[in-house]
Structure 1
């Protein structure tokens, strides 16, 4: 099972849209996919379930918040496997493919989980016992290791920050996918995000070694450019400049450029079907998204970008 975090500190870069489409696209190709929504905005969850479905069937008993909360209430923790839901509209479209797509939904009060995790750490600088530090940061990794289901791929949609819930995702991940708009502010944050992840893994491993626990590897990361504006079938000059600069730094970068199609992708929450599977979506959008899914699969299988 390979675990991939989709993450960027900057919001509005298409993170959730990519997670939904890559997950559905991989499932349609016969893979067993689980997506976990760790963003309190719950946009990924609402991409597959209508708000009334969430309130009625998920909000009080089947979200990632219940799993985190249960471990902090002195009782046997809820298992991740018990929180899995299957988006019905996607399940219908991929039936017969051999694959499936499941989700662990988010909750609008997920921010309280970060406070719960922080309370387990001594706030005084340098006073956190190594094993306590490791235990808090590897909560999600432990939950996945205990058994969540027979999946090939786990995709984690992270919040646009580096709080303890996001750090849980990074510690659990083999890969990090960074959706990025080709502009100054978005590309400037790539190095910072990579540095934060490396620093987290280094600190984690220092505490793990001191406490006698196992160390982890840094997740491999790559960038995919989103919301790219094209003219005459080429990215406009302003976007092409930032794409070239990023690639020039040697940052692993997808060749597929996701065009700016706000009107197309914004329809996902209403239909519950990602563009990659939506027969009503423009053919060019579906082809582009499927190309991205194929490139993503090659990347996680070890093929260089």
Structure 2
């Protein structure tokens, strides 16, 4: 694995026959790449991010679309819950049964194509109108929430395109423990779970994290991104209380409305306060909904700081 996930593409050794290389590409990379032709390309969804770089949502989508429209992958796995994904899928498909396109959705899809649907914790694969496989994702600890079920569906689509069997993929999903800083469960102390989703650097990513757990002590805040914070107002039903960090924590807290919250400023204070008030069965969740650059070099450092403060709780 390489790319935006942490290791530079050019640091990889030259590929060998039979090897699979997985690249997570940012819109910056697809925007600048002039020769990139993947065997399989994946588009999960589109939410506001990097708008200052791309001049708005249209430019942001155009940068991601280049991987498919100009890259010419042999097979495309595309989330079609969003209009941008549906547009992209319609552009690429040459007919209802075009096997080069694998559609991923959270609802049943019409047509006789190759579809993977996740609904109420179940993954279902359909080909030519017939169910090919079904997997229960609810017991996979490393994949909490509907957004991670979509991620699993996309990974399933890639693995199926590579020729792996549904049973083998299901077994592998149960070994997945989550990625660092992405809904990463790092500890359970006194019946309280601690989850690091520092990668939730925009509002949409934070909303998905907030929907994955029932009762949340939410650590949030940082450098706000273009696109606004309004969408947060309807996504905090699971939040018991918010603990706001960042240099402009007081300003960020204004977006929280009537939600109980506390301006903490730094991670040390936020973790300590959340831990002292959390009750068994609750989750202390770091999902900042903002960039990290006001206090950290990157989101990884922010997540590592959260994990370090939680480790101190365990030591105590």
| TM-score normalized with structure 1 length | 0.29
Structure (1/2) with the larger strand percentage: 2
Larger radius of gyration: 2
Structure (1/2) with the larger helix percentage: 1
| TM-score normalized with structure 2 length | 0.28
Higher relative contact order (CA 8 A, sep 6+): 1
